[in-house]
Amino acid sequence: MSDKNSISRRALVKSSIFGMLAVSIPSIGYSKNILPSSDKLYNGELFHRYPSIDDEIVSEIVGASHFDLDKVKTHIDKRPELARATWDWAFGDWETAIGAASHVGRRDIVAYLMSKGARPDIFTYAMLGEYEVIKAMIEATAGVQTIAGPHGISLLTHSEIGARSKDITVAEKAKNEKLIDYLKKLGDADGPQYDKLEETALENYTGDYMYGEGPNDGFSIKVNMRKMLALGKLGKFGGGLYPIGENRFVYNGTASVEISFEMVDGKVISLTVHEPDLTLKATKV
């Protein structure tokens, strides 16, 4: 065998070996790159709607956005997209994290959420007293001032709450007062006006109501801080019930849902939830 052939054969073997390594090495490197950076590795237990974010995390973010900036930060600093979290409290009472902070006047939480990508809406700007923004939106979309925010809270109320924000400056308060005056003059920015039950009548409705045999198949009717009835899951507070007739209520301003109570001999014995595609009766226990 000639030296030339030996050299060619050695070159072929060497190139084949390096060719195999060239295929293998990038694969090894790539597999290292896709390993999770977190120390929480998959162990067979994932949220049932994964890759959607766990409902408990979303609920906690929106709930905490009403009052707890530190808790909000612990989640959103590492996962900024949670600044746009949205939760349905019940019957389509949708609320965003920034919407929660807005209707309680938490300017600090609103500012943090916006810095992380939250989407401010007309209610956020109303709380912040942004007169020019609100005026432009109303002029651009006729009637938008009549739309209620989360929990049925009106545009005017958001601005009034903003004027009472903790640590509000003189300049910020003046902005809110200007906006409040403008909204009041419109005459329809305070949402629907509901009757109010006498406090002595509230206790007749309070208690637990069951619609099934399961331990969680029911509702609790309680009296909230605003001295109005509230409906929640068993043992918990929920959204406010606004009277619209005799023993008839809407839940937090949701237009398509009605809650009615049945009375016998002056005592409430059941409630019925009327939804567009569901009627659900629960008996008082």
What tokens were used for 33?
A: 């790159």
- Give the Å distances, CA to CA, from 94 to 86, 97, 118, 252: 7, 10, 15, 10
pLDDT band at residue 281 under the 50/70/90 scheme = very high
Sorted by where each begins, the domain ranges of the chain are 55-186, 199-284
Predicted local distance difference test score (pLDDT) of residue 258: 97
Q: Is the pLDDT of residue 19 over 80?
A: no
pLDDT band at residue 174 under the 50/70/90 scheme = very high
Convert 165-183 to b/e letters by CB count within 10 Å (16 or more is b).
Answer: beebeeebeebbeebbebb
Higher per-residue confidence, 174 vs 18: 174
pLDDT band at residue 123 under the 50/70/90 scheme = very high
> What mean pLDDT comes out for the span 68-89?
97
CATH code of the domain made up of 199-284: 2.40.128
The CATH fold of domain 55-186: 1.25.40
What tokens were used for 137?
A: 């939106």
* Block residue for tokens 């809110």: 176
> What mean pLDDT comes out for the span 234-257?
93
Q: By percentage, how much of the chain surpasses pLDDT 90?
A: 78
Which amino acid is present at 210? M
**142-169, pLDDT tens digit by residue?**
999 999 999 999 999 999 999 999 999 9
Which amino acid is present at 136? A
CB 251 within 8 A of CB 91: yes
Q: By percentage, how much of the chain surpasses pLDDT 70?
A: 86
Mean pLDDT, rounded, of the chain = 88
Region of poorest pLDDT, from 57-61, 67-71, 120-124, 189-193 = 189-193
Q: What element of type H or E holds 181?
A: helix 170-186
Predicted local distance difference test score (pLDDT) of residue 42: 78
- Entry pTM: 0.81
For residue 41, count CB atoms less than 10 angstroms from its CB and return exposed for 0-12, middle for 13-18, buried for 19 or more: exposed
User: For the chain, first and last CA: distance in Å?
Assistant: 101
Predicted local distance difference test score (pLDDT) of residue 38: 53
What tokens were used for 12?
A: 């072929």
Task: Please tell me the chain's helix, strand, coil percentages from 3-state DSSP, rounded to the nearest 5.
Answer: 45, 20, 40
Q: Is the pLDDT of residue 273 over 90?
A: yes
> What mean pLDDT comes out for the span 55-69?
97
For residue 212, count CB atoms less than 10 angstroms from its CB and return exposed for 0-12, middle for 13-18, buried for 19 or more: exposed
**30-55, pLDDT tens digit by residue?**
333 433 455 567 778 898 999 999 99
CB 248 within 8 A of CB 260: yes
Predicted local distance difference test score (pLDDT) of residue 40: 62
